[in-house]
Amino acid sequence: MSKGKIFLVGFGPGSELHMSVRALQAIEESDVVIGYSTYIRLVKNLLDGKQVVRKGMTEEIDRCIQAYEHAQQGKTVALISSGDIGVYGMAGPTYEVLLQSGWTPDSDIEVEIVPGTTALSASASLVGAPLTHDFCSISLSDLLTPWPVIAKRLDAAGRSDFVIALYNPKSGRRTEQIAEAQRILLQYRKADTPVAIVKSAYRNLQDIQMVRLDEMKDCNIGMLTTVLIGNSSTFMQEGLMITPRGYRNKYDGITGETLDGEKRGRSLGMGLDGWKACVRQHLRNNPGDSLQTVTRHFDTEPGEVLSAIAEASENDYAGDFSALMAMRESLTGIMQALQQWGLLRAVVRSEAGAVSELFMHAGDLELSEEKLKIENEHFHLHVDCSSIANVWLLRCAEDMRGIYFTDSLNRIVFNLSLLRKDGVFDTHAQEKFEWLWRELSYSEDEDLAVNE
C-alpha cells in the first residue's frame, strides 16, 4: 500500500487569487479534501473528481480523525482551513490527534503544512498599513479559553502599546466580549485611536468600517470579522490607517538627513545602549522632577531610573541625583546599619496606586528569617524579603537621602528616607547614611561590615 499523506492547507482569506501556488498544488494532489462546509464552498472550483468530506463548525476533532483515517488507507488528504491553518486553525488539533494515536514524524504518514495569508494581514492590506510596527493577535473566543486569561492578554497588549488584531470578536451568542475589550483598552488608548473593522476580507460580502476605539463596540461585527486596533502612533489619513515604522524618530521627514544625535544603521539614542543617557539628560534639564515623575515620563519602572542614575559619570551626571546599587546579599548588613538613621519616613505603594506614608524610628526595623518587620504602636508593616532583588541608596541635592528596595521587575517594594527637621537632616543620621554609602561603594564584592 502506498504511503498516506496529510496536507494541512491554509488557503488564505477566501479568494483564489490570494491562495498560494503550493495550496493549489496540495488540493490538486489530494484524493480527499476535508473541511468546514463554508471552506469547502470557497474552494469548490478545485474539487472535481475528489472525495469531499464536509463537516460542521464544531466537528473539529472529527475532521482531524477523518484525515488520519484516510491517510492510514494510503490516501493523500487535504485538511483545509481559511487563512493560515496554524493560526487559530486545525494544525494544532491535528498534531495532537496524530501524536495521541502513536504517530511520529518518521512514521509512514507524511504531514505537510501549507501556510496561508492569515486574516490579520489580509485585513490590514485592505485598510492601509496598520501592522507596520509591533502587533499581536488576541482571540475573543472564550469557548475554550477562560475570560480572565483573555482579559489579562488584552490588558498587557494595551499597556505595552501593541497594535492589536482581534480574531473571533463577536458571534450571535458572544456579544459582550467586544465591549469588555473596548473598556479594557480605553484605559491605555485614546478614545480616537483608529480602528478598522474588516468583514469577509477578499470574499463576496467584504465590508470595511473605519472607526474610533470608543465607537468599536457598537459597530456591525460578526463571526467573519477581524478588528485591527491602532497603537498610540497609528493615524488615519485619506481613509488609510497607518502605523509608522518610526523613521521620524531618526530622520528628517523632508531632507532624509539623520536627526541630531542619531546615526544611520545604529540603534536610536533611546535604544538599549543609549536610553539611560537620555534619562540622565532629562534629569539635568528638569532639576525639580522626582523619581516618580521621571519614571512616569519614560513609562518605565523606578528601578530602571535608579540604575540610570547609578551609572552616571562626571561628564554624564544625573542632575541633582546620585545613586548607588547594593546587591541583595548585603541586605542583613544594610538593615543593621539602617537602625542608626534616626527618624524615617517609610513609603509603601499599592499596585492600584494607594500610597502609605509611615513615620517611624529606625530602631523599629527588624529583620528576621527573610521577613522585614517595622512595628510600633501605630502600625505593623511586614515585608517578605525574598521579593527584594536590589537595594539602592539615593541622594538628591540637600533635599533627600533615601533607600529603595526593588524587586526583580524593578518595581519598588518599599522605600525609606531620612526625615528633616527645620529643613536639615539630623547630623548623626546623615553621617550614618554617608557611612553606609562609603561602605557599599568599597565593598561591592564583600559582605558589608556592620558599623558598631
Residues of this chain that bind ligand SAM (CB under 6 A):
13-14, 81-84, 87-89, 118-119, 123, 167-168, 198, 200-203, 223-226
Of residues 129 and 223, the one with the C-beta less far from ligand SAM: 223
Q: Could you give the CA distance from residue 309 to residue 281 in angstroms, rounded to a whole number?
A: 10
Cell 522626582 belongs to which residue? 290
How would DSSP label each residue in 286-315? -TT--HHHHHHHTTS-HHHHHHHHHT--SS
Residue 52: CB minimum distance to ligand SAM, A: 20
Cell of 48: 472535481
DSSP state of 3: P
Q: Which of 84/289 has CB closer to ligand SAM?
A: 84
- DSSP state for residue 32 in the 8-state scheme: E
- Cα angle at 326 between 323 and 423, to 5 degrees? 40
Among residues 301, 311, 326, which one has the least CA distance to residue 280? 311
Least separation, in Å, of the C-beta of 82 and ligand SAM? Answer: 5
Q: Which residue lies nearer to ligand SAM by CB, 227 or 360?
A: 227
Q: Do the beta carbons of residue 34 and residue 79 sit within 8 Å?
A: yes
Strand 5-10 to 76-81 pairing: parallel
Closest CA to 147 of 176, 167, 185, 186: 176
Q: Please, what is the minimum distance in Å from the beta carbon of residue 287 to ligand SAM?
A: 51
Q: How many CB atoms lie within 10 A of CB 248?
A: 11
The closest residue (CB) to ligand SAM is 83
User: Among residues 153 and 361, whose Cβ is nearest to ligand SAM?
Assistant: 153
Q: How far is the CB of 216 from ligand SAM (least distance, A)?
A: 14
- Provide Rg for the chain, Cα atoms: 30
Decide: 10 and 82 in contact? Cβ < 8 Å.
yes
Q: Can you tell me the distance from the alpha carbon of 154 to that of 139, in angstroms, rounded to the nearest whole number?
A: 10
User: Which one-letter amino acid corresponds to residue 392?
Assistant: W
9 versus 388: smaller Cβ distance to ligand SAM: 9
